[in-house]
Amino acid sequence: MNQEKLLLKIHDATCVKCSRLSAGLKKLKQTYSSYYCAPVPSFGPLDSELLIVGLAPGLHGANASGRPFTGDYAGVLLFETLYKYGFSNQKRSLAEEDSLKLNNCRIVNAVKCWPPKNKPTLQEIKNCNGFLKSEINLCKPKVILSLGKIAHDAVIRSFSFRLSDFAFKHLQVHKLGSDSMYLVNSYHCSRYNTQTGRLTNIMFESVFDKIQDILGK
C-alpha cells in the first residue's frame, strides 16, 4: 500500500460518518468563517515513540486552528510540559503557522471532529476508532499517553480488548498485548481539571517522568 493510501487510513478530511458532527461543523463555519471546521489531522512525526491521544478538538482551539491542542487552554499545560521534557521546540502552540515542532512525539484525538459541548456520543467515538487503530498500527509507538478516560477507552477499543480488563486511573501503566507497547493514563489537561486542582503541574510531570522511564531516557 502506498503512502497516500496509508495516510488516508489515519485521516480523511472529507469524512462525514457522524451526521451530527458534520452538520454541526457546517453550521459553525457559517458563524466562524476563518475556522478550520473539519476533521483535525494528527500532528508530529510518524515514527515517534510517544503517541498522545486526546479527546476531541476544542471549539476555539483545534477546531479553529486545524492542529491538536493549538489555540485553546488545554494546550497550555500540555505544550509547556512537552517542551520541558524535550518533546517540543517551544512552550506555546498558538496557531498552525507558528514554528512549533514536535520531537519523538505525535498527537491525535480519539474523535477528530469538534463535538457539541465537548461530548461525543459512543457511536461517534466508535466511528472514529478505525482511524486511531490505523494510526497506532502505522506509527507503532512505544508509549501511548491517554488524556482522560474517553481517550483511554478509545485506545483499548482500537486493540479490541475488553474495557473491564484495563481500568483507567491517573498514572496507571498498562502493557498492551505481547508487543513492547505501553499505555499510560493521565487526567485530561483541560481548563476544568487544571483550575480545580484535579490535575496539577506536578501530577502531569509525574506522568512524563514515567514515560521517560519506559522510553529509557
Q: pLDDT for 181-199, tens place per residue?
A: 999 999 999 999 999 999 9
Q: How far is CA 127 from CA 19, 112, 146, 154, 166, in A?
A: 11, 10, 18, 11, 21
For the chain, report the end-to-end CA distance as a whole number of angstroms. Answer: 34
Per-residue cell: 58: 476544542
In this structure, the strands spanning 182-186 and 173-175 are antiparallel
pLDDT greater than 70 at residue 2: no
Q: What nine digits make up the cell of 124?
A: 461517534
What is the span of the domain harbouring residue 39? 3-7+17-215
Is 79 part of a structural domain of the chain? yes
Q: What is the mean pLDDT of the chain?
A: 93
Give the separation between CA 74 and CA 192, rounded to whole angstroms: 9
Span 199-212, mean pLDDT? 98
**Has residue 56 been placed in a domain?**
yes
Q: What is the 3-state secondary structure (H, E, C) of the chain?
A: CCHHHHHHHHCCCCCCCCHHHHHHHHHHHHHCCCCCCCCCCCECCCCCCEEEEECCCCCCCHHHHCCCCCCCCHHHHHHHHHHHCCCECCCCCCCCCCCCCECCEEEEECCCCCCHHHCCCHHHHHHHHHHHHHHHHHHCCCEEEEECHHHHHHHHHHCCCCHHHCCCCCCCEEECCCCCCEEEEECCCCHHHHHCCCCCHHHHHHHHHHHHHHHCC
pLDDT at 92: 86
pLDDT in tens, 7-41: 668 889 999 999 999 999 999 999 999 999 999 99
| Cα gap 128→2, rounded to integer Å | 22
C-alpha angle with apex 84: 75 to 189, nearest 5 degrees? 30
Grid coordinates of 190: 483541560
Amino acid present at 105? C
Position 98 confidence tier, pLDDT thresholds 50, 70, 90: confident
pTM: 0.95
Q: pLDDT for 139-171, tens place per residue?
A: 999 999 999 999 999 999 999 999 999 999 999
The total number of structural domains in the chain stands at: 1
Instruction: Decide if 12 is inside a domain.
Output: no
| Residue 110 in domain | yes
pLDDT for the residue numbered 180: 85
Give me the percent of the chain exceeding a pLDDT of 70: 96
Q: Does residue 68 lie in a domain region?
A: yes
The domain spanning residue 123 has which CATH number?
3.40.470.10
pLDDT at residue 78 is higher than 90 = yes
